[in-house]
Amino acid sequence: MELLQLAVGGLANGCIYGLVALGFVMIYKASEGVNFAQGDMMMLGAFVALGLGNGDHLGLPFVLAVPLAMAVMFCVGWGVERVVVRRIFGQPQFALVILTIAMGFVFRFVAGAVFGYTPLVMETPYGGQNLNLGGVVIGYADLIAIAVTIVLTVALWAFFAFTRIGLAAQAASQNQLAAYIVGVPVMRVNSLIWGLSGAVATVAGVLYASRGAIDPNIGLLGIKAFAAAVIGGLGSLPGALLGGLIVGLVEPIAGRYAPGEVAQMSPYILMLVVLLTRPSGLISQVQMKKV
């Protein structure tokens, strides 16, 4: 029973890791770059939603505040691509890595300057309510996190697999020049994907905030989500979710049966093992080129 209780909490946690990992994977799918500021975008999204929805700030109703925050973060992601990322177009990957790490610090500073560094709690209509299923207590927040994640993953997967823009984004990531030649507006597609990943990050942020307090440093969760994305296989959306769930489940169980430091290490040990045995992740996207 105790294990089941841990598993439910872990699943909900894992869904949030998975959602942040989805943001990584989307940008990786579209431009083969890694956005290390994804965790900080999640943090910023949560704070925007909090600023719009909480009673002591703007006080909009929750159902209005969240879509509005998503729209704001779409614009932030889109703007970041337009203003900064576009300028290093075509430069080696690690330039983007360093750039996004620096951007993450800027986001953190902005959030800290506006909202301060004391943890804040977001007001949600379902906060603090629990469901009791024969001894296992499940918070509504956990249930909603799991449901929303599954819906979003399927929707994004369909977007990349079936829509014109999704296919164009995949083409752009495999060979920018070739994509240009066949008429893909690579720059526009990139902007759109960055915007979308901002919106997804907001959803993750809101789900995270509804399960506990937030402060500007929760963006560091992005590193863990990144481990999840690598475990699942960078470039695979279902893989990101799978990786997130694995990390989410392993963490509390390791914490239960081993010292706390081991629990902290477990996602990264798992990631190293996956990198060593299956370098391209559980759901592999690397293919040998056929000549």
* Site residues, another protein (CB under 8 A): 31-32, 34, 84, 87-88, 90-91, 93-95, 97-99, 101-103, 105-106, 108-109, 112-113, 117, 173-177, 180, 220, 223, 226-227, 230, 234-235, 259, 261-262, 264-265, 268-269, 271-272, 275-276, 279-280, 285-289
* Least distance from another protein to the Cβ atom of residue 16, Å: 19
Nearer to another protein, 3 or 113 (CB): 113
Question: Of 194, 210, 204, 211, which is closest to residue 225 (Cα–Cα)?
Answer: 204
Residue that is written with structure tokens 């337009």 in the block: 82
User: Is the sign of the CA dihedral 82, 234, 256, 144 positive or negative?
Assistant: positive
Instruction: Compute the least distance from the CB of residue 49 to another protein, in Å.
Output: 22
Nearer to another protein, 52 or 103 (CB): 103
Nearer to another protein, 108 or 211 (CB): 108
Q: What span, in angstroms and rounded, lies between the C-alpha atoms of 133 and 261?
A: 32
CA pair distance 257, 277, nearest whole angstrom: 25
Residue of 49, 77, 75 whose CA lies nearest to 64:
49
* Alpha carbon distance 82, 268 (integer Å): 33
Nearer to another protein, 37 or 48 (CB): 37
| Alpha carbon distance, N-terminus to C-terminus of the chain | 55
**Which residue in 53, 21, 4 sits closest to 206, CA to CA?**
53
Q: How far is the CB of 164 from another protein (least distance, A)?
A: 20
User: Do residues 31 and 99 touch, judged by C-beta distance below 8 A?
Assistant: no
Give which of 200, 192, 149, 146 is closest to 168, Cα–Cα: 192
Return d(Cα 65, Cα 53) in angstroms, integer.
5
When the beta carbons of 151 and 262 are compared against another protein, the nearer one is 262
Could you give the 3-state DSSP secondary structure of residue 120? Answer: strand
Query: Which structure tokens are listed for 137?
Result: 């207590």
Nearer to another protein, 130 or 174 (CB): 174
C-beta of 88: minimal distance to another protein in Å?
6
The minimum distance between CB 101 and another protein, in angstroms, equals 6
The two tokens of residue 225 are 């989500």
Q: Which is nearer to another protein, 60 or 265 (CB)?
A: 265
Nearest-approach distance from CB 66 to another protein, in angstroms: 28
Rg of the chain over CA atoms, in angstroms?
A: 19
Q: What's the closest the beta carbon of residue 274 comes to another protein, in angstroms? A: 10
C-alpha 209: how far from chain center? 14
Cβ nearer to another protein, comparing 11 with 37: 37
